[in-house]
Structure 1
């Protein structure tokens, strides 16, 4: 992973084919690039070969060719088999032979090609290539596989996008690769090369409608392949772990005959609904649906359901509690707030934790509060001493058996609207407090550090490497950039 900050950039290329989506962008959007395995087999193979670097550097598929008007010089710089990664050895996984790349469906005729330019460059020109009908897509892409179908001159950028009407010949159909060359007209000869995997059908392709972009960071699968199969009587518990490694909130569902085959959807619905109501959608179980342009839970495809959060450091943890004859029966109970519901109370409220058996309550997280009637089946928690927003957790242990249960709720402090919000539940737009940069520390995207009397913001995961100032001076679009 440290290579993200130590591998030198061969060019200052910035952008990717957005529609149809470039290979590296599609893998990035599908997730699994940091932990676990990408859901697409071709992307997973690319990660095995090249790690996360090709996805994180999705806007830098480029090569400098000074004699760029000489196509033979371009082909010599980017030989057969390297076209889809611009002959950058650190990204070679993106050009490895595989038939499983996710494809965008296009119709013959004219469509609107969209290039997301994170750094527009003009003057420049464009070349659009399409694989020949007899091209073997199971092999690495070669120049001999391509037909040049269209050329465009200098195209103005609009709102950070280049938009070009491109025509797919009417005699083409089936799987293909659209290979796009965007060439700067400058002394360095910087050119950008993107492979978009497509399937061609007949008719007319409408241009993509503009819409919202995903605003959450994808994490691990909601239900992993290693998770067991719940049975009637079991309890499935899902903990939201905040950026400090603490349990911010817990959700659970008791498995019975009515939900044994549908518990995952019901549990996800509870998690999503609560966060929509109280946390402005800071967490969502499911995935972004590009065509519908919103997040959704995929009931019939568990491989599409991930933990998505506005804080990349948050996570979720699913636990199966055995309710069989040989296990310990969970302590049944509930939380009753005297003022508010949904496990959110105001500071000063008294909270009643009612259990099915007499129990002792031990606080496991948060500022110390008063616990009354401890040792009974109706225990009262007094939140008068809470002065700032925080999450409290308690462990209830039955006096009559070995049963235990965890109870978690949030306390909202009210001081006229000026109280800082240290709420450990993932914030909609967290801003980390700056700390001094340390080469031995691991930083995640969005974290801010100080170096040389200036604040610097990490754009992605990084550990070690050159200091932020030198990194930025070498590459304005590298991992470290000024925070303000």
Structure 2
């Protein structure tokens, strides 16, 4: 291998290692949370590719993650920070149609690629299952609401709007420190569950989970792709 090419490759590897290191520090300092089962779009991309995010095979094996990593890799490293503040309970006013998965382009364009329609990796679920949402900082929850896209909505080609959703699960108040622990060391907070019921559903859909954290007017908006068996 020519020396210049070898040096260029070494510099790329060093830069990637530095990005992982600094991002890990940011995550630890500002940890919040996300849906982990079924995984949110950016958590799933981080979980599958975080240790191999420069592998070009992602482009064919996981093309929606590939476009998201290339659009803004910090959306995956900060999978636990997709929230808006000062919503005052008016979710539809805070987040325009077509931008639900990015929480209305919160953080500028960081999460915008998550709104892109396409064949996101989807988890197969039954019409009645338990969704798991992980709270790294143990904020607790005033509530969690989980919606599913209505029959006829096509996640492969359509951007999601509020009118495309129907409520399929919710919780009441969950106190800080409530919930369950996880065996994954990356998930070092507490996990809350939502019982999801979508009778009669088949095929591909998007789940939309809203988590209102208890410590402040801070709301998380999380898209998870599923296939109802």
Q: TM range, normalised to the smaller chain?
A: 0.7 to 0.9
Determine the C-alpha separation between the residues in 2 that align with 1:64 and 1:3. 27
> Quick check: 1:46 aligned with 2:65?
no
Contact map agreement 1:13 1:61 (CA 8 A) in 2? no
**Deviation, structure 1 residue 66:** 4.1
**Larger RCO (CA within 8 A; separation ≥ 6):** 2
2:173 corresponds, among 148, 154, 157, to 154
How many Å separate the matches in 2 of 1:13 and 1:127?
21
Unaligned runs of 5+ in 2: 1-14, 182-188
* Structure with greater Cα Rg: 1
> Quick one: structure 1 residues 48 and 113, their matched pair in 2 at CA, closer, same or farther if it must change by over 3 Å?
same
Partner of 2:125: 106
1 or 2, which has the higher strand percentage? 1
Question: What RMSD in Å do the two structures reach over aligned CA positions?
Answer: 2.6
Task: Tell me by how many angstroms 1:113 deviates.
Answer: 1.7
Per-residue deviation, 1:90: 1.2
- TM-fit CA distance, 1:116: 2.1
Residues of 1 paired with 2:19 and 2:115: CA distance? 20
CA 127–78 in structure 1, closer or farther in 2 if over 3 Å, else same: same
Partner Cα separation in structure 2 for residue 41 and residue 96 of structure 1 = 11
| Residues 97 and 173 of structure 1: CA distance in aligned 2, closer, same or farther (over 3 Å) | same
The 1:13–1:96 alpha-carbon spacing in structure 2 relative to 1, beyond 3 Å, is farther
User: What's the offset of the Cα at 1:94?
Assistant: 1.4
Q: Could you give the per-residue CA deviations for residues 258-294 of structure 1, whole angstroms, max 9, x where no partner exists?
A: xxxxxxxxxxxxxxxxxxxxxxxxxxxxxxxxxxxxx
Which residue matches 1:314? Answer: none
Q: Deviations over 1:107-129 (max 9, x none)?
A: 112x2221222111125211010
Number of residue equivalences: 190
2:59 paired with 1:31: no
Change beyond 3 A, Cα 1:3–1:79: farther
Aligned counterpart, 1:163:
192
Residue among 143, 147, 153 paired with 1:125: 143
The 2-side partners of 1:28 and 1:63 are apart by 21
Task: State whether residues 127 and 152 of structure 1, in contact with CA within 8 Å, keep that contact through their aligned partners in structure 2.
Answer: yes
Task: Give SS of 1:75's match.
Answer: helix
| Structure 2 contact 212–218 (Cα < 8 Å) conserved | yes
Could you tell me which of 73, 85, 88 is aligned with 2:102? 85
**Where does 1:10-409 land on structure 2 (aligned, <5 Å)?**
14-31=32-49, 34-37=53-56, 38=58, 39-50=61-72, 52-68=73-89, 73-86=90-103, 87-88=105-106, 89-98=109-118, 100-109=119-128, 111-137=129-155, 138-155=157-174, 156-159=178-181, 160-186=189-215, 188-201=216-229
Question: Could you tell me how far 1:163 is from its partner in structure 2?
Answer: 3.5
Shift of 1:148: 1.3
SS in 2 for 1:197: strand
What is the TM-score when the length of structure 1 is the normalising length?
Answer: 0.36
Supply the distance in 1 between the matched residues of 2:151 and 2:124 (Cα, whole angstroms): 16
Task: Please identify which structure carries the higher helix content.
Answer: 2
- From the superposition, tell whether residues 58 and 67 of structure 1 become closer, same or farther in structure 2 (CA, over 3 Å): same
Give the Cα–Cα distance (whole angstroms) in 1 for the partners of residues 170 and 203 of structure 2.
23
Structure 2 matches for 1:424-435, cutoff 5 A? Answer: none
In the TM superposition, what is the alpha-carbon distance from 1:141 to its structure 2 partner? 1.6
Task: Verify the 8 A CA contact 2:139 2:213 in the aligned structure 1.
Answer: yes
With over 3 angstroms needed to count, the CA separation of the structure-2 counterparts of 1:63 and 1:123, relative to structure 1, is: same
Query: After the TM superposition, which of the residue ranges 59-68 and 29-38 deviates more from structure 2?
Result: 29-38
Structure 1 residue runs of 5 or longer lacking an equivalent are 202-484
CA separation in 1, counterparts of 2:217 and 2:82?
14
